[in-house]
Amino acid sequence: MAAHNELGKWGEDLATDFLEKKGYEIIERDWKSGHIDLDIIAQEGTTLVVVEVKTRRNRLYGDPEEAVDYKKRLSLRSAINHYVKSHRLGRKVRFDIISIVGTIGSTPEIEHIKDVALY
């Protein structure tokens, strides 16, 4: 596996553990809709929470969450709509981003950004 893929997998594993410790129930990981994948689909109370995880080694090129730009948000919105319709869900849906900065074996910085607008 390429180093960037390993880092991404590590970040998603950390984000999953982080959410579980906060009381979220993880429903699915890496759900695919065409070429777009939803990293984590979880439940907090009665709310479905879709989480995009962005992991970077450092902030040299900006904060990880900055990679979730307008085009990416539109793609994610489409994938989320597909998930909700295909599972016939009729509950509140929220989109979050978990930003992770660090390297495998280090203690990373984790930031949970809740209720991000998808435009």
**2-30: per-residue pLDDT in tens?**
777 899 999 999 999 999 999 999 999 99
Percent of the chain with pLDDT over 90: 92
In this structure, are residues 30 and 42 in contact, taking their beta carbons and an 8 Å threshold?
no
Show the 3-state SS of 58-118.
CCCCCCHHHHCCHHHHHHHHHHHHHHHHHCCCCCCEEEEEEEEECCCCCCCEEEEECCCCC
pTM of the model: 0.94
In this structure, are residues 26 and 32 in contact, taking their beta carbons and an 8 Å threshold?
no
State phi, psi for 71 to the nearest 5 degrees.
-65, -45
